[in-house]
Amino acid sequence: MISQIIYKVPEGKVIRIEMEFSEVIKSIKISGDFFLHPEEAIERIEEALAGTALEEKSIFDAIMEVAELEKIKFFGIDAASLTRAILLCGGKQ
Amino acid sequence: MNFRLINTGYKDAATNMGIDEAIMTMNSRGMVAPTLRFFGWKPAAISIGYFQSLEKEVDLQKCREFGIDYVRRITGGGAVFHDKELTYSFVIPEKDVPEDIMESYDLICGAIIKGLRKLGIDAKYAPLNDIVVNGKKVSGNAQTRRMGVVLQHGTILLDVDVDKMFSLLKVPDEKIRDKMIANVKERVTGIHKTYEETAAALKKGFEEQFNAEFAEENLTEEELELAEFIKAEKFETMEWNHKR
């Protein structure tokens, strides 16, 4: 399936998810008006999510693994809100 | 610490973003001092944040119709319509500002607030990245850190044309376009000063905040060359502007 959603993080910024998925995420594009340092790490997150099961813990863990490796600082989003946006896009919430 | 002040005046979008990145690069190589730059946009332009989708945010056909430039920034944040404004960029080594990103926004936005107060404007910092007057946004700011250097750039709105801005932006749902326009009109305002007087006041604000003189200079030959190169190789390319 292919789906896209816009999710406004409470007290935060806007996340737009475009995703191709079945039980796993096949490919994903994350965009929006948030801040994330270093910026290029967004691509590492997208790569890590491709092939991840469309399920809360797997998604959250995949994001956190990259976040720790790349020492990511999030503003206006975080791993939990990004996970929520992805689950919403996948019809899981 | 020595600082430079450079007023590059009105330029097109790709040139403006090329100059910011060139200053950042040259500062990281230790070849130029930390720099405050003032500029404007001609033609008027939309810049989008690093993470935004160009096609989803911007009505490119309308931009072409009205002769409006567009460019992707190297900083995060939202889409900005650069029309009647003073834009600044500030480049400084990471070691010379707080490591904490919020604190460094506070420091640099503090310089702008000091400057605006010189114009009799009661401005306040609204974290993360806005400056407000009477609760209305007059300035949006965005920061990136690369090569050991901080770049913060932002806009001081002199006047806003919300209707024109929205004619160039796509909205998630056409049914709520009018509501969104009304909402932005409630939340955003210009300071109704000129480019020149705002620039002069901001210079003083930065001098106070950093307790230093900002010497007025021009871009170096190397910066100009590098800016042209970055403009052509990055900010004018489909690959960069359409990358998300």
If you search the block for the tokens 């503003």, which residue do you land on? A75
| Separation CA B204–CA B67 (nearest Å) | 35
What is the DSSP-derived secondary structure letter of residue B169?
Answer: B
Nearest CA to CA, how far is B73 from chain A (Å)? 11
Q: Is the pLDDT of residue A48 over 90?
A: yes
Nearest CA to CA, how far is B196 from chain A (Å)? 30
Residue B109: C-alpha distances to residues B23, B69, B103, B106, B112 (Å): 20, 27, 10, 5, 5
- Assess B170–A contact: CB distance below 8 Å, yes or no: no
- Assess A19–B contact: CB distance below 8 Å, yes or no: no
The secondary structure element, H or E, covering residue A31 is strand A25-32
CB atoms within 10 A of CB B166: 18
- Assess A74–B contact: CB distance below 8 Å, yes or no: no
Tell me which residue in A13, A34, A73 faces B101 most closely, judged by beta carbons: A73
Contact B20, B89 (CB under 8 A): yes
How many beta-carbon pairs below 8 A join chains A and B?
A: 55
- Assess A48–B contact: CB distance below 8 Å, yes or no: no
Nearest CA to CA, how far is B51 from chain A (Å)? 5
- Assess B56–A contact: CB distance below 8 Å, yes or no: yes
Judge: B76–A6 Cβ closer than 8 Å, yes or no. no
Per-residue pLDDT, A60: 98
Q: How many residues does chain B have?
A: 244
Per-residue pLDDT, B176: 87
Per-residue pLDDT, A61: 98
Edge-first strand listing for the sheet containing B45-48: B69-72, B45-48, B80-82
Per-residue pLDDT, B55: 95
Contact B90, B153 (CB under 8 A): yes
Q: Which ipTM was obtained for this model?
A: 0.95
DSSP string, B225-244: HHHHHHIIIIIT-HHHHT--
- β-strand pairing of B149-157 with B136-146: antiparallel
Judge: B101–A76 Cβ closer than 8 Å, yes or no. no
Burial of B105 (0-12, 13-18, 19+ CB in 10 A): buried
Per-residue pLDDT, B173: 81
| Separation CA B145–CA B147 (nearest Å) | 7
Q: Is the pLDDT of residue A83 over 80?
A: yes
Q: Which residues does residue B137 pair with via DSSP β-bridges, in sequence order?
A: B132, B188
Instruction: Show the tokens assigned to A88.
Output: 């919403």
Nearest CA to CA, how far is A35 from chain B (Å)? 5
- Assess A92–B contact: CB distance below 8 Å, yes or no: no
Judge: B76–A73 Cβ closer than 8 Å, yes or no. no
If you search the block for the tokens 């206006």, which residue do you land on? A76
Contact residues on chain A for B50, CB-CB shorter than 8 A: 39
Q: Is the pLDDT of residue A66 over 80?
A: yes
**What residue ranges of chain B have pLDDT lower than 50?**
none
- Assess B100–A contact: CB distance below 8 Å, yes or no: no
Per-residue pLDDT, B168: 94
Q: Is the pLDDT of residue A93 over 80?
A: no
- Assess A76–B contact: CB distance below 8 Å, yes or no: yes
Give the angle subtended at the CA of A75 by the CAs of A74 and A76, to the nearest 5°: 120
Per-residue pLDDT, B164: 93
Mean pLDDT of A54-71: 98
Judge: A39–B77 Cβ closer than 8 Å, yes or no. no
Condensed to tens digits (0 to 9), the pLDDT of residues B134-144 reads 999 999 999 99
Q: Is the pLDDT of residue A8 over 90?
A: yes
